[in-house]
């Protein structure tokens, strides 16, 4: 049986390697070679977020860094890079996570530099 810390590390590795893809519970469970029900249970029990929330958080955090570091890349291209179908769905997820849209976030961070 896989330990929780190893489970989280392997989950993080998989997400990092597949940031540009849509990642699902089924995909992660298959990668870890464990039941999706067991995986969901053990992950949720030992963390303060669901697997979906964890995936979203990692993607949002990485995309926010990318957004500021790569000022010349459009929001649409960043949305596509991080597995969103369009900039509208990315904008909605980003605003829900950070409280501002990607354009506002980028501007505020660049202005601080």
Q: What is the CATH number of the domain that holds 33?
A: 1.10.10.60
Rounded to two decimals, the pTM is 0.83
The total number of structural domains in the chain stands at: 1
- Count CB atoms within 10 A of the CB of residue 108: 12
What per-residue string of b and e applies to 13-29 under the rule 16 or more CB within 10 Å gives b? ebbeeebeeebebeebb
pLDDT at 69 over 70: yes
Encode pLDDT of 49-68 as tens digits. 888 898 899 899 999 999 99
With H, G, I as helix, E, B as strand and everything else as coil, classify residue 104: helix
Please give the Cα distance from 89 to 106 (Å, whole number): 17
User: Residue 90 class from Cβ within 10 Å (0-12 exposed, 13-18 middle, 19+ buried)?
Assistant: buried
Identify the sign of the CA torsion 14, 15, 19, 22.
positive
Range of the domain at 25: 4-112
Encode pLDDT of 1-44 as tens digits. 567 788 888 988 998 899 888 899 999 999 999 999 988 888 88
The lowest-confidence range among 7-11, 99-103, 105-109 is 7-11
């Amino acid at each position: 049986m896989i330990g929780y810390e190893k489970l989280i590390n392997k989950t993080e590795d998989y997400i990092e390697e597949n940031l540009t893809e849509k990642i699902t519970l089924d995909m992660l469970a298959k990668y870890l070679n464990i039941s999706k029900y067991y995986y969901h249970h053990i992950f949720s029990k030992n963390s303060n977020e669901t697997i979906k929330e964890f995936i979203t958080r990692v993607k949002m955090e990485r995309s926010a860094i990318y957004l500021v570091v790569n000022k010349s890349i459009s929001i649409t291209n960043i949305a596509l890079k991080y597995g969103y179908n369009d900039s509208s769905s990315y904008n909605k997820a980003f605003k829900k996570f950070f409280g501002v849209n990607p354009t506002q976030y980028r501007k505020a961070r660049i202005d601080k530099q």
